[in-house]
Structure 1
Amino acid sequence: MKKLDNINTKILQLLTEDSRRSYQEIADTVNLSRSAVNKRINQMIDDGTIKRFTIEHTLEKAYSILLIKSDGCNCDIIFDKLCSIKEDFIFESLYGSVDSIARIATIEHCRLYEIKNMLMQMAEVEEVKTLPVMATHVKRSKK
């Protein structure tokens, strides 16, 4: 990785803010042509300055886990019901003491209670436990 000049630093800043930003928009901001920006970004990829382009979603911020025990129904029914909520969520069917887990992008207790009650009104749902996540630790393997 080589030392960054002011323009590459600005390009990195813009991409960090929005990795989907168009090369033309970056070019307009740093007063270069689109092809010059393309060349600089490709060089930063080649020399390892840029390792990957990624997104940030709300589930990396504050979220809660719902543990859902059902009567053995197809979990798609529960997923379909959860699709009516406004919050982003990830839903997974499980095998074990609970049948599904939902990571919901909220830690607001009142909202969790509303979602829990909505699910508990379903004949197929036996129990819902809500667990607001206080901290997340991630270990990623080197590639």
Structure 2
Amino acid sequence: MTEIDDVDRQLLRMLREDGRRTFSEMAPAVGLSVAAVKRRVDRLRDSGVIMGFTVQVDHAKLGRGIEAFVELSYTGTTPVGEIVRTAYEVPEVQAVYTIAGDPDALVHVRVRDIEHLQQVIDGLRRAGQVTGTKTLMVLGSWTRDA
């Protein structure tokens, strides 16, 4: 486990807000030199705390403004790889979480509208050894910064 301090947390927050932010922009905000900020970010990358830099997408502007989680239950003998494959092949699926207990998986989807959501759920129900589904619509979201 990598130890991080408040300055590291500030750097992580700033990079999450804008992954293209420069060391020169971040240095005055945390009270360090540009070289010190670079060393800290390099250390966070080298230790695996920062796994990469990415872009945030406004899915609504891409026509996928509805977000939901679908719980999937499978027959008791279904291997985890099959559970992941079932959902992975569906383009609307953003992530698949295999979980302990009932249900077996939680699938994050983004769709155009309710009719599209129904089509995706129907497709998931027909895939693999799915024995049941439950859908949870996202009304809003919040993410904790590092």
Same fold flag (TM > 0.5): yes
User: Which structure has the bigger radius of gyration?
Assistant: 1
The 2-side partners of 1:107 and 1:129 are apart by 19
Asked if 1:47 corresponds to 2:28, the answer is: yes
SS at match of 1:47: helix
SS at match of 2:84: helix
SS at match of 2:29: coil
| Partner in structure 1 of residue 68 of structure 2 | 64
The 1-side partners of 2:58 and 2:86 are apart by 20
Distance 1:75 1:111, change over 3 A: farther
**Deviation (angstroms), 1:137:** 2.6
C-alpha RMSD over aligned residues: 3.3
Asked if 1:108 corresponds to 2:113, the answer is: yes
Could you list the runs of 5+ residues in structure 2 that have no partner in the other structure?
A: 1-16, 31-36, 42-52
| Partner in structure 1 of residue 85 of structure 2 | 80
The 2-side partners of 1:131 and 1:85 are apart by 18
Distance 1:138 1:88, change over 3 A: same
Could you list the runs of 5+ residues in structure 1 that have no partner in the other structure?
A: 1-14, 21-40
The 2-side partners of 1:58 and 1:74 are apart by 34
The 1-side partners of 2:127 and 2:136 are apart by 20
The 2-side partners of 1:120 and 1:136 are apart by 26
Give % identity. 14
**Moved runs in structure 1, 4+ residues, more than 2 A?**
51-55, 57-62, 81-88, 137-141
**Deviation (angstroms), 1:70:** 0.8
The 2-side partners of 1:130 and 1:107 are apart by 16
